Amino acid sequence: MENVLGRYLVGGETVHHLNGVRDDNRPENLELWARPHPTGIRAEDAVVWAQEVLGLYAPELLNGCYSVSSDVVTSTRVRTPPPPPECV
């Protein structure tokens, strides 16, 4: 899966084998799964978490208004600065 993604898996990501055969690592048999958000999350932390998820899986949706820190890989929460006025 890491070869398909072009990056290492990050914390909370697992690889699911669609046909259930764990040694069948053909790309078409693999699916990337990510665990859901943590329970009891504060609203401001949820925003940071959502930005991290978008940065990893759909960066085009961020429209360049937010950047995701490399600390995402270590699962460290990092507050991002407020977006520029044109992004609000």
Residue 19 pLDDT: 95
Domain spans, the chain = 1-35, 40-88
Q: What is the pLDDT of residues 6-64, one digit of tens each?
A: 889 988 888 999 999 999 999 999 999 887 766 787 888 888 888 888 888 888 888 76
Q: What is the pLDDT of residues 76-87, one digit of tens each?
A: 444 455 555 565
Q: Report how many helices (DSSP H) and strands (DSSP E) the chain contains, helices first.
A: 2, 2
Its pTM stands at 0.52
Residue 71 pLDDT: 44
Of the CA atoms within 13 Å of residue 38, those in its CB half-sphere come to: 13
Residue 83 pLDDT: 56
